[in-house]
Structure formats: structure tokens, C-alpha cells
């Protein structure tokens, strides 16, 4: 199975959303993880809330540093923050550059969530077409 790593700065919002959608929609198709360049201590509560609105429970997911997931062992890395992922080595990196919702309204969290969901579904469709 293809291994995909979703990365953002804090691994508290965007990459957690992407991991949640990828697990829900791509079960049995790929293995997914998420990590942060400078991980937060918790997943932002609004992240859990807006994902739960979509029927996705992030459960015991928690922010992780890149070193815990070993980026070089993945087939694809998706950066959701527009930041380089120096630990990527020769692994291909896609840049989605999605707004950070931290400190923003629930409307922004929902818009970011929906954008990430669409991107994950498109990536999954691309993967299945190969």
C-alpha cells in the first residue's frame, strides 16, 4: 500500500483533518499519518468539532513531530502549510498551501475542512486511477 504523510506546522488542525479524511475514505487503499514541523501539544478542539460534524472522530490522534513518523519511509508527503519539509529527502512532496484556521472562526474551520476533504478525495481518485 502507498504510504502518505500529511504535514503542517502544528499538526493540530490541517494535517489532522487530512489524516482523518484519508483514513475514512481511503481505508484499505493507503496508509496515512500526519505530523508537524513544530507540533502543538493538543489537537485544537474546533478541529475535532468540525471533523465530528462530518462523522469523523479523530479519536486518540495527537500532534507528532516528524521524527516520530520518519518521513523518508513514505511514498508521498503532502504539505498543507506551504512550508518546505526538509526531512523529506527524495520523497515527492505536494504543496496544498491551505489557510491555517488556528484562532479563526468556526466558519473558517469549516471552509478549511471542506477544502481539505476535496483535496483528499481528489488525491484518492488520482491514486485509484493509477
Q: Which residues are catalytic?
A: 8, 81
How far is it, in rounded angstroms, from Cα 83 to Cα 81? 5
Q: Are 14 and 104 in contact (CB under 8 A)?
A: no
| DSSP secondary structure string for all residues of 106-127 | HHHHHHHHHHHHHHHHHHHHHH
Grid cell 479563526 is found at 104
Amino acid at each position: 500500500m502507498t504510504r502518505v504523510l500529511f504535514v503542517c506546522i502544528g499538526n493540530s488542525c490541517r494535517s489532522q483533518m487530512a489524516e482523518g479524511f484519508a483514513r475514512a475514505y481511503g481505508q484499505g487503499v493507503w496508509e496515512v499519518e500526519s505530523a508537524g514541523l513544530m507540533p502543538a501539544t493538543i489537537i485544537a478542539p474546533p478541529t475535532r468539532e468540525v471533523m465530528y460534524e462530518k462523522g469523523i472522530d479523530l479519536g486518540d490522534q495527537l500532534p507528532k513531530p516528524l521524527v516520530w513518523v520518519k518521513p523518508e519511509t513514505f511514498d508521498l508527503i503532502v504539505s498543507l502549510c506551504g512550508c518546505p519539509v526538509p526531512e523529506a529527502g527524495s520523497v515527492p512532496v505536494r504543496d496544498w498551501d491551505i489557510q491555517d484556521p488556528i484562532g479563526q472562526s468556526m466558519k473558517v474551520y469549516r471552509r478549511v475542512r471542506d477544502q481539505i476533504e476535496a483535496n483528499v478525495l481528489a488525491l484518492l481518485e488520482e491514486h485509484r486511477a493509477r
